Homo-oligomer: A and B are copies of this chain.
Amino acid sequence: MPALSPQELYLFDTTGFLLVPGLFSAPEVAGFRAELDRLRPVDPGFANTLRYDGLPGASELFARLGRDGRIVGRVREVVNQPLRILEGYALRRGPDSVLYLHGGSSELLDLGGGTVGRDLSITHTYHDGKLFCPYVKALVYLSEIRSREDGSFCYIQGSHKANFPLLRPRAERGARTSLIDEGFPTLSDLFVGAGDLLLLNEALMHGTRRKRTPGDRALVAFGYGPTYMADWRELDGETGDLRGTGYVDHDVEEDFVR
C-alpha cells in the first residue's frame, strides 16, 4: 500500500510540500527534545539559533528517526530513486531569529563561464506517474508554531516549478530587504503543531518568519536524495582540482539583503 494517498501526492506535486499533522506522539516529541538537551550544538551562523549537526552519527535515537518508516516511506514516493540520507540536523531558535528565503527552481547560479538558471541538486521532474525529486527534506516539528510571530514556515507559491528567477532581478531593481519583511503577493505561511511532519521539495522557495514570541522553536530535519548524491556539505566555490564534493548555493536572499 502506498504511503501517500493520491490526494497527498497531488498536493505535494502542486504545492511543493505536504504537511502530515500529528505523525509523532507527545511522548516521542518529548523524547526528541530530551535527546537534543544531551547533544552539543554547533555555531549555526544565524543569530539566536542553536544548530545540532550530524544527528545520525551523534545520536542513536535520531539515527533511528532518520530511518523511521513513517518518514522514509513517504520520502521514497517522491524521490523514487535508490534512497539515502544526505544530512540530519536540528534547529532550536529563540526570539528575533529568522531564516531568509532560499530555494526556487530557477534562481541563478554564477559559474566561471556565466550564469545559469538551474541547480541540478534540486531540479525535479515527473515521468510515467512518478515524481523524481533529488532533494527532499523531512522536518519534524517539536514546537507549536501557530502564528507568524512564532516564526512560521513561509514559502512562495509555485516557486518549486518557477520558470523565472525572482531574487536577483528584484535585487537588480534595487530591493535590499527580505521578501519576508517586505511581503510578496504569494508569500504564504504554514502553521504546525509539535509532532507534525513537513515533507518539503527543496526546490520550493521557503524560509521562516521572524520569531517574536518567547520560548524556543525546535525541529529536527533530515535531507534525503538518491544514493549518487553526496552528503550535504557547503562548498566554497569549485575546488581547483575537480575533486571536491559538496553543494554550491544558487542565489538566496542573504546574497542581496543588507
Question: Which residues of A are at the interface with B, using a C-beta cutoff of 8 A?
Answer: 2, 6-7, 9-11, 13-16, 56, 63, 66-67, 72, 76-77, 80-85, 106, 109, 111-114, 116-121, 123, 125-132, 134, 156-159, 161-164, 166, 169-170, 173, 185-186, 224, 226-232, 235, 237-239, 241-248
Q: Pick the contact of A13: B66, B81, B163 (CB < 8 A).
A: B163
Which residues from B are CB-within-8-Å of A13? 158, 162-164
Counted per complex, copies of this chain come to 4
Complexed CA–CA distance, A119 and B229 (Å)? 12
Check B10–A166 contact: CB distance below 8 A.
Answer: yes
Which residues from B are CB-within-8-Å of A134? 120
Complexed CA–CA distance, A131 and B235 (Å)? 22
Check A111–B244 contact: CB distance below 8 A.
Answer: no
Complexed CA–CA distance, A109 and B81 (Å)? 8
Q: Pick the contact of A164: B9, B15, B185, B186 (CB < 8 A).
A: B9
Check B118–A80 contact: CB distance below 8 A.
Answer: yes
Complexed CA–CA distance, A100 and B26 (Å)? 41
Which residues from B are CB-within-8-Å of A130? 114, 116-118
Q: Which residue, of A16, A116, A237, has the highest number of chain B Cβ atoms within 10 A?
A: A116
Nearest-CB residue, chain B, relative to A19: B185
Check A113–B248 contact: CB distance below 8 A.
Answer: no
Complexed CA–CA distance, A58 and B3 (Å)? 46
Check B10–A162 contact: CB distance below 8 A.
Answer: yes
Q: Pick the contact of A227: B169, B185, B244 (CB < 8 A).
A: B244
Known: A72-B242, A227-B230, A229-B229. A113 touches B6 (CB 8 A): no
Which residues from B are CB-within-8-Å of A246? 227-228
Known: A13-B163, A14-B162. A235 touches B117 (CB 8 A): no
